[in-house]
Amino acid sequence: MGYNRNFVVMFNTMNYYPMFKGCQYKYSKANHRNVMVLNVDINSTEENKKIGMETCDELGIHFVNPNENYIGNQFGVKAVDEYLTRNNIDSDWILYFEHDVIPMESDFWDKLDKSLEKIDTDKVSMFSPNSIMDYGVAQKTIGSDNILERRKNKTRTARGNLLTGILENPQYGWYSQLPDEWYEKEHFFVESPYWTCVGFNRKLFREHIEIDSKFLFELWPDDIAHQFLKKGFYNISFTDLMVCHDHYFKKDVKVTTINRNQPDSGDYCQEQMRFWGKHGWRWGKRNTNLRKQFKNAVKGYPSGNLQEVLFNMRVSEGPKNYEDLC
């Protein structure tokens, strides 16, 4: 294909095809022509799917499933992996983007390549960049030589529940506004990489993840993250790979049909209950019994699971690299 990169970029799209030209390709600082981009259609209407195929053809995006329908974002990752395998495309990583998340630097793809070269693909299962949550702030801080201003100001790198202190002020379940020492690391161990832009290790995904149709939208990557953690694989976040996630990017985009022909999509409370039923504890900062629930649940986890490691770590103790824990 001529891209010569160790990752591909993917989108799952349900009717939101105007977002490619009206948002992603409009605001991104990195050139998408310099990386392989794939799209998986997630049960769009026939009208929108036709628009999507035309849009992807115009932009050079590989349309993975023109003749098939998929339900749920986990199936999208699986579909991309199978597409790459069928077409003999040798990339270790699949980087998923939401449509309103953009790379904030022109050399983002090159920086990502160099960062992934240093990562042990036998141990690291998922990663996320550092996401700035305000486009105005991103434009001011992205070129700063001040590490803390650049990496910490209005950013999120991951989310979670188990790290002691992560549910308290000012984190409230996000790896955000952490003590300064966290941002001095190139990367650190996290519970669940930030879901709007998250990378998956293809080999480990194929070998260890059971696709779960119960997680359609809200907690789908968090379920994958915990499947990996249970089996002793590390999820990490990079502090200096900068993207921006801001609903500002949607302001001029009109999507005509958003209704979905699939059950219970986008219901956060229902997916919390699904997570609870599967993993033994309820996701979310409002769960005051979370630590008690986890202590009971972990008794049934396999030995060597990394959830228990996270549970015994504290925000105030600073970050850990997966190399430290190995």
Per-residue pLDDT 10s for the chain (326 aa) are 557 899 999 999 999 999 999 999 999 999 999 999 999 999 999 999 999 999 999 999 999 999 988 888 999 999 999 999 999 999 999 999 999 999 999 999 999 999 999 999 999 999 999 999 999 999 999 989 999 999 999 999 999 999 999 999 999 999 999 999 999 999 999 999 999 999 999 999 999 999 998 888 889 999 999 999 999 999 999 999 999 999 888 887 876 555 444 444 456 788 889 999 999 999 988 888 999 999 999 999 999 999 999 999 999 999 999 998 98
pLDDT of residue 264: 46
Tell me if 80 sits within 8 A of 94, measured CB to CB: yes
Tokens representing 95 are: 């980087």
pLDDT of residue 256: 58
Tell me if 4 sits within 8 A of 92, measured CB to CB: no
Residue 175 and residue 255: Cα distance in Å, rounded? 32
The reply to whether 133 falls in a domain is yes
The reply to whether 1 falls in a domain is no
To which residue do tokens 């294909």 refer? Answer: 1
The set of residues, in sequence order, having a beta carbon less than 8 Å from that of 252 and lying 6+ positions away, is 22
- Strands 37-41, 7-13: parallel, antiparallel or unpaired by DSSP? parallel
b/e map of 203-213 (b: 16 or more CB within 10 Å)?
A: ebbeebbeebe
48-66 tens-digit pLDDT: 999 999 999 999 999 999 9
pLDDT of residue 260: 45
Phi/psi at 131 (nearest 5 deg)? Answer: -105, 120
The reply to whether 70 falls in a domain is yes
pTM of the model: 0.95
Domain region containing 263: 7-325
CATH (domain of 301): 3.90.550.10
CA distances from residue 140 to 104, 134, 265 in whole angstroms, order as listed = 11, 10, 36
Tally of domains within the chain: 1
pLDDT of residue 213: 85
Residue 155's DSSP bridge partners are: 132
The reply to whether 2 falls in a domain is no
